[in-house]
């Protein structure tokens, strides 16, 4: 199996994703320049973090028009796996592949810190290796990470078990204090209804070795490998 | 002579300097030539007041591959075929005028200095100074600067590992923004900033050239300024996205043999980039300004040559490789244009189409007059230093606890989390020790090694005793490195002072450098790069002389690093270093200013003890004996102990600590050469043996544990209470 990491102009988590998957977990990985359109040799596509097109206009608003995005839409229709991290999550929302939007943090500042995530759904292809209600530790790093959707969409997400991660305390309590950006329902990551597209603001690729403070992020990559 | 005073003031040249140009040139310079001289002979580019003094700093060393001034940044070899490239630079004046963009473009500039050399930037740090945050304008500057640094650095995907921030009245009109960048490269891929090889092409890449930043080097950075509003157009606006593309494209080129050199465009724009790289290559250059892509219409050759538009690089392309190089830039969606070529006649020839608008021998442009003056110690300094401690009443035991809380809440000591959480410090998957410790630690992938990074500077000390405190600045950076388990490798520095044409400021500059040089020699740490930022004064009010040192250290085995917080209940806490109470250690202390509103006295340091202390601490960490190490700095011993508690989330208890001498000096005095360490009880004897081997005094202070901070008879505070004031002390202003 093979992972493909999309590189837009301005992407920077591409190298960290490559490191986590290839150097740490021994998986086969390619970089995919955003002008490529042939994704046939990949089993999972990663849209990594960064500032695609400088986040100018709105994060993800320009990147979603890159040639690779049309291919990703087809990729998703073929039930193959796509994961968007941070800026990648923003791109997926802009492209309409996931519902809702990521707004500017409620405190109007960039935030880089370690957070705890409660796994709310461990039956997705991205979380099967997590225990039910397990609390994962990994960093966030964003300015626009406040998940927002209208009431109908939110109710639908909740009803369909599409909220995969919520910001929580270390004991798994979903509190306002544990929410680093004002996301509705403390949402940190969601999947689409079919369950083959995941978007999350925290960075699993930065939690790939104990020396970095946590290797909980590997559970996500390992879940994908098991699924495929 | 027809030249007017206004024109000379605009480019910050004196009439004597103008006459010198005429004499050497044998004629009056053209407008473009005069502009080029003004920039290159400015303090910012030409170091005319500081060069004679800077040569006292030790520059060489076994690992040093590139020394200051030779290239855009200094280089040290760390083995395994890898080199570190490091530099720190000030962006003070632009940040005073427009804090957000001033600080952002400061980051952009320093990052370009690093990748220009073919090194991938892997860390940023910042050393910042502002006036007190009780003032709204200072708060605006502080917020703007931090926001600007965050916006630029975060967009580039380079981790910002913190640094330092301090507040004092003297920085109100002149905030300091010093940005450090460190990169890593394979030694064989290092790129030189040399324009050589007749017929090689000068290719300008990146942003179009506009009128922004005209006279940045000569006007902003090289004189004092009174009316800030009129200077706003000299501050540039950054485009970090464009810079990110430049990084990737230039690093790709660094791995080819298609280019002869690379040079970024910084202060004095195209003038300085072309002339300095050609001077290093010992050749000449010819540029046609009509070939420079412009952002606006009607720009004169003068404006094109002196524009400081950001995110531009000058690439010296080998003859015949133009198309290959252009293809790389095209891939990254970057604009590139050939604007001239390398010549061998030793002239800088600037043309506008066929018309020559400047033609000057290279060596005239790069040899500004150097000034050296004899100055005496100013009398006011004697008065400040002759401070009698007995004129200040000592604290009573019941006052000690509340004073500790006040210190912990002081913006100079309180937790900096509200600053560094705005910086992405984890991108790159290398951050092992995050900001908030004595030094940040980054592992180097593919090796067992790690590096430590710290910035240090204490303007208040240097104001009181520039020589001793120049030495302390270096010593403290080395001590912070040692506390992280790293052997200091090299220094980069920013010397921030007032107007050097004034005798007392020149005295401060000279003494600071001499003190730094002494400590560098004693501790065997070379200075590999840096800059000077003079003229930091407004209406004759100069800042404290503020030399800032950025230091990189090497940890051979990443698993043997150390942090500042206490780690386990029951650990024993020791003080390494001088444990006598010295009343004069109150001189220059945070305590003296905060509680008694006095900035007086004089710091002191014993560099022999300092050196032994570092070795002792390093050995204890390398052998895995100690659990934490934290140096004593602002706020003294009590603050250092409290910080180790707060960082580790564990209390401290001392039952038999018999405080000698004055209480305030014992707890809050800022004697140098002291480190608080904690150790498992069974390893205490080993620690004592190491200390004795290095002849470092060692004294047991207490035990780690519980939820309180207790020095029996003096202090008994709950950790929550201490944490609340420490955590909120700076955060409340953001």
Q: In chain A, which residue's Cα lies nearest the Cα of B558? A: A211
Asked if B604 has any chain A CB less than 8 Å from its own CB, the reply is no
Per the CB < 8 Å rule, is A112 touching B445?
A: no
The answer for residues whose C-beta is within 8 angstroms of residue B7's C-beta and 6 or more apart is: B34
- Tell me the shortest Cα–Cα distance from B423 to chain A, in angstroms: 6
CA distance B72 to B529: 8
Phi, psi dihedrals of residue A87, rounded to the nearest 5°: -55, -35
* Whether CATH 3.40.50.880 fits A2-227: yes
Asked if B140 has any chain A CB less than 8 Å from its own CB, the reply is no
Q: B477 near B456, Cβ under 8 Å?
A: yes
- Choose among B124, B129, B157, B78: nearest CA to B486: B78
Per the CB < 8 Å rule, is B428 touching A23?
A: no
**Mean pLDDT of chain B, nearest integer:** 93
Statement: residue B385 has pLDDT above 60: yes
CA distance A219 to A137: 11
Q: B207 near B136, Cβ under 8 Å?
A: no
Per the CB < 8 Å rule, is B424 touching A110?
A: yes
Query: Which is more confident, A142 or B46?
Result: A142
Closest partner residue to A110 (CB to CB) among B154, B240, B445 is B154
Statement: residue B330 has pLDDT above 60: yes
Per the CB < 8 Å rule, is A203 touching B426?
A: yes
List own/partner pairs for B224-229 with CB under 8 A and 24 or more apart: B224/B498, B224/B499, B224/B535, B224/B536, B224/B537, B224/B538, B225/B93, B225/B538, B226/B538, B226/B539, B228/B96, B228/B97
Best residue in A17, A110, A114, A143 to probe B by mutation, most B CBs within 10 Å?
A110
Percent of chain A with pLDDT over 70: 100
pTM of the model: 0.95
Separation in Å, CA B675 to CA A37, B631, B709: 58, 4, 18
Q: Which of B230-234, B409-413, B615-619 has the lowest mean pLDDT?
A: B230-234
Closest partner residue to A139 (CB to CB) among B154, B426, B558 is B426
> In this predicted structure, what is the pLDDT of residue B229?
46
- Tell me the shortest Cα–Cα distance from B668 to chain A, in angstroms: 32
Statement: residue B573 has pLDDT above 80: yes
Of residues A17, A86, A162, A208, which has the active-site annotation?
Answer: A86
Cα angle value B221/B224/B228 (rounded, 5°): 90
Q: B724 near B415, Cβ under 8 Å?
A: no
Closest partner residue to A112 (CB to CB) among B332, B423, B429 is B423
CA distance B298 to B290: 11
Per the CB < 8 Å rule, is B429 touching A19?
A: yes
Q: How large is the ipTM?
A: 0.96
Q: Which of A78-92, B30-44, B350-364, B495-509 has the lowest mean pLDDT?
A: B30-44
Asked if B150 has any chain A CB less than 8 Å from its own CB, the reply is yes
Split at pLDDT 50, 70, 90, the class of B234 is low
Statement: residue B489 has pLDDT above 70: yes
Is B44 catalytic? The answer is yes
pLDDT tens by residue, A105-129: 999 999 999 999 999 999 999 999 9
Task: Return the structure tokens found at B20.
Answer: 């010198």
- Choose among B677, B671, B421, B710: nearest CA to B565: B677
Statement: residue B278 has pLDDT above 60: yes
> In this predicted structure, what is the pLDDT of residue B217?
59
> In this predicted structure, what is the pLDDT of residue B456?
97
The answer for residues whose C-beta is within 8 angstroms of residue B724's C-beta and 6 or more apart is: none
Percent of chain A with pLDDT over 90: 99
Statement: residue B219 has pLDDT above 70: no
Closest partner residue to A54 (CB to CB) among B155, B425, B426 is B155
Chain pair A-B, CB pairs under 8 angstroms:
84
Asked if B732 has any chain A CB less than 8 Å from its own CB, the reply is no
CA distance B204 to B193: 14
Per the CB < 8 Å rule, is B421 touching A113?
A: yes
- Tell me the shortest Cα–Cα distance from A72 to chain B, in angstroms: 22
Task: Return the structure tokens found at B274.
Answer: 């072309």
Q: Give the rounded distance of the alpha carbon of B350 from its chain centre.
A: 35
CA distance A15 to B279: 37
Is B91 catalytic? The answer is yes
Per the CB < 8 Å rule, is B239 touching A143?
A: no
Tokens 């207490």 sit at which residue? B702
| DSSP E strand boundaries for A133-193 | 135-142, 146-148, 163-168, 187-191
> In this predicted structure, what is the pLDDT of residue B233?
58
Contact residues, B window 233-262, toward A, CB-based 8 Å cutoff: 239-242, 244-245
* Domain map (residue ranges) of chain A: 2-227
- Tell me the shortest Cα–Cα distance from B392 to chain A, in angstroms: 43
Q: Which residues of A touch B425 (CB under 8 A)?
A: 112
- Tell me the shortest Cα–Cα distance from A67 to chain B, in angstroms: 15
Q: Which residues of A touch B429 (CB under 8 A)?
A: 16, 19-20, 205-206, 208-209, 212
Across the range A190-199, mean pLDDT stands at 98
Closest partner residue to B426 (CB to CB) among A141, A143, A211 is A141
Per the CB < 8 Å rule, is B241 touching A10?
A: yes
Backbone φ/ψ region at B142: left (φ over 0), alpha (ψ -120 to 50), beta? alpha
Q: In chain A, which residue's Cα lies nearest the Cα of B418? A: A111
Closest partner residue to B241 (CB to CB) among A56, A110, A113 is A56
Split at pLDDT 50, 70, 90, the class of B196 is confident
């Amino acid at each position: 199996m093979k992972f493909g990491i999309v590189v837009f102009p301005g992407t920077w988590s591409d190298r960290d994703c490559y490191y986590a998957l290839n150097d740490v977990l021994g998986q086969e990985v390619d970089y995919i320049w955003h002008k490529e359109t042939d994704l046939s040799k990949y089993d999972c596509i990663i849209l990594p973090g960064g500032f695609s097109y400088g986040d100018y206009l709105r994060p993800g608003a320009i990147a979603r028009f890159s040639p690779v995005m049309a291919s990703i839409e087809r990729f998703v229709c073929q039930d193959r796996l796509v994961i968007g991290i941070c800026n990648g999550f923003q791109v997926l929302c802009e492209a309409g592949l996931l519902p809702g939007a990521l707004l500017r943090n409620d405190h109007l500042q960039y935030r880089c810190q370690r957070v705890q995530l409660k796994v709310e759904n461990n039956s997705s292809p991205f979380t099967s290796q997590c225990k039910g209600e397990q609390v994962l530790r990994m960093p966030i790093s964003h300015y626009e990470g406040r998940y927002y959707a209208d009431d109908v969409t939110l109710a639908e997400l909740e009803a369909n078990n599409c909220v995969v991660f919520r910001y929580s305390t270390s004991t798994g309590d979903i509190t306002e204090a544990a929410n680093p950006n004002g996301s509705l329902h403390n949402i940190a990551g969601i999947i689409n209804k079919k369950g083959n597209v995941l978007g999350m603001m925290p960075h699993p690729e930065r939690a790939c070795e104990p020396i970095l403070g946590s290797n909980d992020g590997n559970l996500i990559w390992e879940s994908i490998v098991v699924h495929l | 002579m027809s030249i007017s005073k206004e024109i000379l003031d605009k480019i910050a040249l004196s009439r004597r300097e103008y006459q010198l140009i005429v004499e050497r040139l044998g004629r009056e310079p053209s407008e473009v030539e005069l502009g080029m001289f003004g920039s290159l002979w400015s303090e910012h580019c030409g170091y005319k007041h500081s060069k004679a003094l800077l040569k006292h700093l030790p520059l060489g060393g076994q690992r040093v591959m590139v020394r200051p001034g030779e290239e855009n940044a200094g280089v040290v070899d760390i083995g395994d075929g890898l080199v570190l490239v490091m530099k720190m630079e000030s962006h003070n004046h632009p940040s005073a005028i427009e804090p957000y963009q001033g600080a952002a473009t400061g980051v952009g500039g320093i990052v370009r200095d690093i990748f220009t050399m073919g090194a991938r930037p892997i860390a940023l740090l910042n050393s910042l100074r502002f006036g007190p945050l009780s003032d709204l304008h200072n708060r605006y500057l502080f917020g703007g600067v931090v926001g600007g640094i965050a916006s630029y650095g975060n967009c580039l995907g380079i981790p910002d590992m913190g640094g330092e921030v301090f507040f004092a009245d003297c920085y109100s009109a002149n905030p300091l923004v010093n940005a450090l960048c460190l990169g890593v490269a394979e030694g064989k891929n290092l790129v030189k900033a040399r324009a050589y090889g007749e017929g090689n092409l000068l290719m300008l890449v990146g942003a179009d050239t506009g009128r922004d930043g005209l006279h940045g080097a000569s006007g902003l950075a090289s004189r004092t300024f009174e009316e800030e509003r009129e200077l706003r157009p000299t501050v540039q606006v950054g485009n970090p996205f464009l810079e990110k593309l430049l990084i990737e494209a230039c690093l790709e080129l660094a791995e080819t043999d298609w280019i002869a050199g690379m040079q970024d465009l910084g202060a004095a724009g195209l003038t300085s980039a072309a002339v300095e790289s050609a001077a290093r290559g010992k050749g000449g250059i010819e540029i046609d300004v009509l070939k420079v892509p412009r952002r606006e219409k009607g720009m004169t050759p003068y404006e094109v040559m002196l524009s400081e538009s950001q995110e531009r690089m000058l690439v010296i392309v080998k003859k015949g490789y133009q198309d290959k190089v252009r293809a790389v830039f095209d891939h990254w969606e970057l604009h590139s244009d050939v604007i001239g070529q390398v010549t061998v006649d030793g002239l800088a020839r600037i043309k506008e189409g066929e018309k020559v608008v400047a033609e000057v021998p290279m060596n005239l442009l790069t040899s500004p007059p150097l000034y050296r003056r004899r100055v005496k110690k100013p009398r006011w300094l004697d008065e400040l230093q002759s401070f009698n401690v007995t004129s200040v009443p000592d604290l009573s035991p019941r006052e000690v606890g509340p004073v500790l809380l006040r210190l912990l809440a002081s913006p100079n000591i309180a937790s900096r989390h509200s600053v560094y959480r705005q910086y992405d410090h984890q991108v790159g998957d290398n951050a092992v020790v995050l900001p908030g410790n004595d030094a940040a630690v980054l592992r180097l992938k593919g090796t067992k090694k790690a590096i430590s990074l710290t910035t240090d500077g204490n303007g208040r000390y240097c104001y009181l005793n520039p020589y001793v405190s120049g030495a302390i600045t270096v010593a403290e950076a080395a001590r912070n490195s040692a506390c992280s388990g790293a052997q200091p490798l090299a220094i980069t520095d920013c010397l921030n002072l007032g107007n050097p044409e004034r005798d007392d400021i020149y005295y401060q500059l000279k003494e600071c450098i001499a003190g730094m040089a002494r400590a560098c020699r004693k501790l065997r740490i070379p200075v590999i790069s840096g800059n000077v930022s003079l003229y930091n004064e407004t209406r004759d009010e100069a800042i404290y002389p503020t030399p800032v040192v950025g230091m990189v250290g090497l940890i051979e085995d990443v698993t043997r690093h150390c942090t500042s917080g206490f780690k386990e209940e029951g650990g024993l806490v020791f003080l390494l270093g001088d444990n006598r109470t010295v009343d004069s250690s109150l001189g220059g202390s945070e305590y003296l200013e905060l509680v008694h509103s006095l900035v007086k006295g004089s710091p002191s340091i014993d560099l022999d003890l300092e050196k032994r202390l570092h070795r002792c601490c390093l050995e204890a960490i390398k052998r895995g004996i100690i659990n934490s190490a934290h140096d004593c700095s602002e706020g003294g011993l009590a603050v250092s102990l409290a910080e180790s508690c707060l960082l580790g989330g564990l209390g401290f208890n001392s039952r038999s600590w018999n405080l000698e001498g004055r209480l305030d000096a014992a707890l809050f005095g800022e004697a140098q050469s002291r480190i608080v360490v904690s150790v498992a009880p069974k390893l205490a004897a080993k620690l004592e043996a190491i200390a004795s081997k290095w002849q470092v005094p060692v004294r047991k202070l207490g035990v780690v544990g519980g939820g309180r901070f207790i020095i029996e008879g003096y202090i008994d505070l709950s950790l929550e209470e201490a944490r609340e004031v420490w955590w909120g002390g700076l955060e409340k202003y953001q």
